[in-house]
Amino acid sequence: MSHSIKLRYAKLCYQYLVNNILTFLLVPIMATILIQSNPNEVLNFYKSLSLTSVHLVCSLFLIIYVTTCYIMSRPRTIYLVDYACFRPPLTCRIPFASFMEHARLVLPTEPKSVRFQMKILERSGLSEETALPPAMHYIPPTPTMDLAREEAELVIFSAMDSLLEKTGLKPKDIDVLVVNCSLFSPTPSLSAMVINKYKLRSNIKSFNLSGMGCSAGVISIDLARDILQLYPNSNAVVISTEILTPNGYLGKERSMLLTNCLFRMGGAAILLSNRKSDRGRAKYRLVHIVRTHKGADDKSFRCVQQQEDPEGKVGINLCIDLMQVAGEALKSNITAIGPLVLPASEQLLFLLTIICRKLFKSKMKPYIPDFKLAFEHFCIHAGGRAVIDELQNNLQLSAEHVEASRMTLYRFGNTSSSLLWYEMSYIEAKGRMKKGDRIWQIAFGSGFKCNSAVWKCNRTIKLPVDDHNPWADCIDRYPVDIPDVVRL
């Protein structure tokens, strides 16, 4: 038997022992008590208490009261009934050749900036099937308010129509509406636009989030969860999108051209419910949400920022320290979520390494917990190929664990806050989502934020998936091999 196999078996034995330590301790103790106990002694002890019927009634009332208080004070279970993702029409597809032709026409006197965008596109991990809104296909691009509203209506209404059809939900039955879009915040708001389109109730609780970055999808789920805790027998629709029409950068600053190469059309609509009647048909159950905000640090606050370049052209500036800031935010988020999800064996190893490093000034590397023991599926924010690579290395994940993220980036590009739902759809379309599976969604956003959502699969997702799944027409082609560089 090789040394590596011996180590693997030793680790499995250690995990089994530590994770079941209470069982190993309590079973012998309880067995000893039962063996040594005498039924007569128990009966004599009961008689010595001299309990009357009044005592028994009061005790029973106390038990019922405590049980009732416990049940009433427990957080309501939040179910994800279903969700739908926007599938861009073929007319919005942006092949590499078209993208580069537009770049040359927009920046005819800046060949260096054009070549820079070409290099980014070659290494981006995107395919030629990603989509941009119609206004960005015009030459020159036409970022008008009317066209931005048209894009918002196309994406949001398409996702919303799919959700209503999948779930059978009637618009009048929606109790809570949360819409998040970071960069496009018109008046009336996007949430008001949805209310007007579907004629929702006048007493609906609606919220519109903006400026929250790519992690706003998890933030919206968190907000909807908190509201559903206050109102029993209710549901909530969450819509996550990013409207690109008014946010294309037309300047030459390299740090602001990156977003042009990575961001693409996308959106998702999610139905949450706290109704017990939805338990049977719900796909998932929300287990944890952990949010980490590093905005108190100046470098973190400024690493992703909307600003003007020296020529007065507005765009999103991505700082060179972005990956370092994201790593620090992820570390803080992992520290918070680890105790909630990791088995005792991993927590103990992590604690021991910290003690050794602090007390004995040891130079040993910090122990990275094995999150594969806590989750079956990982939906990593596919902000770019470098983000996926970094998280795969830091969390020691396999190629299959990050397959959904890589394929989503390849097929749809960076769709911002809705990315995680395209990744979840990929796992479902592959037939990998089984009852009891645990899913970890990790999202990053400006500010700087790292937010996590943990779901548990409520029922096995059967194949074939319905036509509303964004991968329904192409899943048989995936996964594909993505070259490090695509020569243009």
* Among the listed residues 272, 267, 205, the one whose alpha carbon sits nearest the alpha carbon of residue 237: 272
Query: What phi, psi does 454 have (nearest 5°)?
Result: -115, 125
Q: Is 23 helix (H, G, I), strand (E, B) or coil?
A: helix
395: its two tokens: 């969390």
Residue 362 burial (C-beta neighbours within 10 Å; 0-12, 13-18, 19+) = exposed
Out of 181, 208, 377, 401, the active site residue is 377
Out of 180, 208, 247, 414, the active site residue is 414
Out of 235, 260, 381, 457, the active site residue is 381
Active site includes 214? yes
In total, the chain counts a number of residues equal to 488
DSSP states of 29-54? HHHHHHHH--HHHHHHHHHHT---HH
Out of 102, 293, 401, 468, the active site residue is 293
425: its two tokens: 């759809």
Burial readout 448-484 (b: 16 or more C-beta within 10 A, e: otherwise): bbbbbbbbbbbeebeeebeebbbbeeebeebeeeeee
| Cα 196 from Cα 465, distance rounded (Å) | 31
Active site includes 381? yes
| Cα 405 from Cα 143, distance rounded (Å) | 30
Active site includes 414? yes
- What letter represents residue 66's amino acid? V
* Residue 156 burial (CB count, 10 A): 25
Strand partners of residue 178: 207, 238
Out of 214, 261, 450, 457, the active site residue is 214
* Residues known to be catalytic: 214, 293, 377, 381, 414
